[in-house]
Amino acid sequence: MRPSKDPSKTRENETVSVLRFRLEPTKEQKQTLFHTFYLCRRLYNEALEERVTAYRENGVAIRYTEQQNRLPAWKQEHPEYKEVHSQVLQNVLQRLDQAFVNFFEKRARFPKFKNKFMFRSITYPQARDTYFRENQVYLPKIGWVRMMAHLPFDPSSVKMINVKFHDGKWYANLTYVTEAAVPLTEIQNTVGIDRGLLSLIATSDGEFFENPKWLQKSEKRLKRKQRQLSRKQKGSKNREKAKHELQGIHDHVANQRKDHLHKVSRLLIDRYDLICMEDLPVKGMMKNHRLAKSIGNASWGKLGIYLEYKAKNAGKQLIQVPPQYTSQLCSGGCGTLVKKDLSVRIHQCPTCGLEIDRDVNAAINILHRGLEILQQVS
Ligand SMILES: [Zn+2]
């Protein structure tokens, strides 16, 4: 799949990633944030109305700059908008502009008016390193908000802060840009990848990467040995021996798995200039008592790490995107959320009729999201 616009033109030597941290706003901060959502949504809908009218009557698209230039006048008319940071307001208009770009380039339907459930995030497009201190982030017009930074990051590399309310929780998505080790290649081939339910990964090109048979065999053997060990009497010599043996198999399988992940990541880096994947789950979510699932998480995490440094060394780009709704959202551009539990293998859209493997559908959404992020920061 190719991007609709050549993002490499505006970017030279940088790679983009997104870090997601939990936020814990105070009660007052939550109120301010919700009020800000409301004001931004109203602006979005007003600006959309204006564009719809222009489009219906003259078939033309009002440009972003025209609407942005009118923001000061809008604030004069509606003084409550002085409570919102001006760059946040500009970003609202940029989002609308992006929705129109997607429409004109046939990637999405005509932009919709947003109700309060559809507008639950704001973006500060120009973060500063002074916005961060130990477990706190500064959101202009909101204040210092508690942020659970579970990973170290370099504040001066953060370009953009997106604040999101999702499933009753608050998140900060930090888009950060780091310099690539070598000049970036021009972006021609792009791909989104998702971890498959049955396969290792599914791509937006409809391809599936499986774990090789020999690896599956070794993993089965490992599981069998683990069961045998649990039946041996505690403290017995036999148990010690079995434990030792198990450790050996465990290391062997881990190495086989690493080899395979290296092979897959190499192949993807050779083939694509831009790879989009879901960002890694937060640490708490990685803890899982089911072995198969924890191996899956560990593999996925390793694949991300391998892709990241291989991309850097090859002048390719890896973008990690927030994963919300990627498996439900229809990738056909109609915007429908198609709920499905894990047993449903095929994404079938009642709105546009798209019928496609569920993991491929998710991978396409991940690609779209990555391309959006790339356009926002460039
Ligand atoms: Zn659809």
Q: Which residue in the list 97, 273, 308, 359 is annotated as catalytic?
A: 359
- Indicate the average pLDDT of the chain: 85
Q: Are residues 212 and 271 in the same domain?
A: yes
What is the structure's pLDDT at 295?
A: 58
Q: Are residues 269 and 148 in the same domain?
A: no
**Containing H/E element for 166?**
strand 158-166
Q: Are residues 228 and 79 in the same domain?
A: no
Last residue of a domain, one of 153, 179, 205: 179
Ligand 1 centre distance from Cα of residue 36 (Å): 31
Q: Are residues 132 and 208 in the same domain?
A: no
Ligand 1 centre distance from Cα of residue 332 (Å): 5
Q: Are residues 96 and 163 in the same domain?
A: yes
Asked, for residue 145, whether it belongs to a domain, the answer is yes
How many domains does one find in the chain? 2
Last residue of a domain, one of 163, 179, 195: 179
Q: Cα(366)–Cα(369) distance, rounded to whole angstroms? A: 5
Q: What is the largest CA-CA distance in the chain?
A: 86
User: Do the beta carbons of residue 264 and residue 209 sit within 8 Å?
Assistant: yes
Q: What are the CA-CA distances from residue 35 to residues 28, 49, 117, 171 (Å)?
A: 11, 21, 13, 17
Q: Are residues 209 and 349 in the same domain?
A: yes
Asked, for residue 225, whether it belongs to a domain, the answer is yes
Asked, for residue 254, whether it belongs to a domain, the answer is yes
Beta pairing, strands 190-195 & 201-203? antiparallel
Ligand 1 centre distance from Cα of residue 330 (Å): 5
Q: Are residues 100 and 243 in the same domain?
A: no
Q: Chunk the chain into consecutive blocks of 10 residues (it has 378) and report each block's average pLDDT, rounded to whole numbers.
A: 36 71 96 97 95 86 90 94 95 91 80 90 93 93 93 85 93 84 84 85 93 82 85 82 84 85 94 89 45 63 86 88 87 89 90 94 94 80
Q: Are residues 257 and 198 in the same domain?
A: yes
Q: Are residues 196 and 57 in the same domain?
A: no
What are the beta bridge partners of residue 14? Answer: 179
Asked, for residue 152, whether it belongs to a domain, the answer is yes
What is the span of the domain harbouring residue 18? 7-179
Asked, for residue 2, whether it belongs to a domain, the answer is no
Per-residue model confidence as pLDDT tens digits over 55-71? 888 887 788 999 999 99
Quick check: is 6 catalytic? no
What are the beta bridge partners of residue 357? Answer: 346
Q: CB-based contacts of 198: which residues, under 8 Å, 6+ apart?
A: none
Last residue of a domain, one of 179, 213, 243: 179
Beta pairing, strands 346-348 & 355-357? antiparallel
Q: Are residues 364 and 258 in the same domain?
A: yes
Q: Are residues 213 and 341 in the same domain?
A: yes
Asked, for residue 29, whether it belongs to a domain, the answer is yes
Ligand 1 centre distance from Cα of residue 350 (Å): 7
